[in-house]
Amino acid sequence: MLLFGGNPGIEEYQNDRMCDFWCFQALNEDPAEIMLKLRGLLLEAEFLEIKAKSPTEALTLLRSEKSVDLLSRETRESLAAQIFESSDESAWSIRSCTFSQLMKFLNEDLVEPRSNLQQLISNSIDIVTN
């Protein structure tokens, strides 16, 4: 689909149109690509958990074939740079954050309302800390 022009977004030029064409193409992601992203997120969470216990094992995970297949070079380098940074983040919070990231990939119709899930997690935290 081709789109022409558009409003420049400046109040005093509301009647002007930009003289360019835009090409718009709506794409649905391939399910295999989505699975790759999801597995990558899970691998990042696994790395963060292992790093807290054994940085050497975490580096071994980053060098594994699985890591090379699932994570971009930039992501692997970023994780490797964090290897000796201490983190007070618990396994539970790492997993909760990963769960929230995974839920973003799912269609709204396929999951419980997000506000309810966030409220459930917040209530769980309150119960655990009290």
76 pLDDT exceeds 90? Answer: yes
Q: Does the model's pTM come out above 0.85?
A: no
Provide the pLDDT for residue 89: 84
Question: Within 13 Å of residue 94, how many CA atoms lie on the same side as its CB?
Answer: 17
pLDDT in tens, 19-39: 555 555 555 678 888 889 889
Averaged pLDDT, 38-47: 93
List the domain boundaries for the chain: 31-103
Position with higher pLDDT, 59 vs 26? 59
What is the spatial distance between Cα 98 and Cα 34, in angstroms, rounded to a whole number? Answer: 15
**How do residues 80-129 score in pLDDT, each as one tens digit?**
999 888 878 888 888 888 888 887 877 666 666 655 566 667 777 777 66
Q: Is 48 exposed, middle or buried (0-12, 13-18, 19+ CB in 10 A)?
A: buried
Angle between helices 73-81 and 55-63 (to 10 degrees): 170
The answer to whether 38 and 28 are in contact (CB under 8 A) is no
